[in-house]
Amino acid sequence: MSSSTRKYKDSVFVDLFSEDEKAKENFLSLYNALHGTNLQLSCPVENIRLDNVMYMNIINDVSCLVDGKIIILAEHQSTINENMPLRFLQYIARLYEKLQAPTDRYLRKLSKIPTPEFYVFYNGKEDYPETAVLKLSDAFITKSEQMPLELTVQVLNINTDKANKVLTACKPLEEYSLFVDEVRKQTQLDPEKGFTNAVKICIEKGILKEYLTRKSREVINMLVAEYDYDTDIAVQRQESLMIGIQQGISQGISQGIEQGSYQKAIETAKMMKLKNFDIVVIKEISGLSELEIQNL
């Protein structure tokens, strides 16, 4: 089935913090950990997520209106995308259109809007700082002392070996990070039954025990969907690579193509290797040799 017609459901991250019956409790725990507050379960939280915006066909973001703020969360299990500030800018603009009455923007009196905050939670395998900040202005071609437009994204590395303080302050996030570790480990040991084994082991260890016991089959389906999504991305990158090569040849810039295509092939192979694809499949998709792939 082509990626354009396949329909994905929520990721496990989104389900935990946005859709599950205990999502509000989990979200408030995370909000309190990020802000040093103590909002109670009685605090109003409105889910205002826009479907199929952040990641094409997979829904992998959490957007909630709480305490006069719009909190937008995204998860990355692969390399951090440095274009996230621009993507968040496009996202928040659409959210404001959704939240405001069309006539409000034309009022003479200032129309108040919720304050936006943007977070990316990174739990990939590549080394990455405990915290980082991505800025929209980093992408500007020309810069001035006072940027006319800015958007900042807080990146938090939630891998357990980084001991990020947000994990100790938010038990659902800490257990989710441990769950991702277990999934990674079990899929390496047994690609066919890895998801099922990881869910079973986490229940035995008390990691997201109530959630996984209640929704084990749904969680496995979500994990499979995420895995299929990453496969689609790898294929799409390879297709883009081939298109770029063809266009480049026709434009007579073969040298630049060779350099750019090889770099893209390396990026594709790295991502597929992190997702435990068979080396034969990686060779076929990326065009790299077995030795090149092993050295990545």
Give per-residue pLDDT as tens, 218-275.
999 988 877 655 554 454 555 555 555 555 555 545 555 556 677 778 888 887 787 7
Residues 6+ apart with CB under 8 A from 236: 3
The model's pLDDT over 121-172, given as tens digits with 9 standing for 90+, comes to: 998 888 899 999 999 999 999 988 888 999 999 999 999 887 789 999 999 9
By the 8 A CB rule, do 208 and 176 touch? yes
Report the run of H or E that residue 201 belongs to, with start and end.
helix 194-205
Q: What phi, psi does 70 have (nearest 5°)?
A: -105, 115
| Alpha carbon distance 50, 31 (integer Å) | 20
pLDDT band at 17 (very low <50, low <70, confident <90, very high): very high
Q: Does the structure show a pLDDT above 70 at 111?
A: yes
| Alpha carbon distance 163, 173 (integer Å) | 12
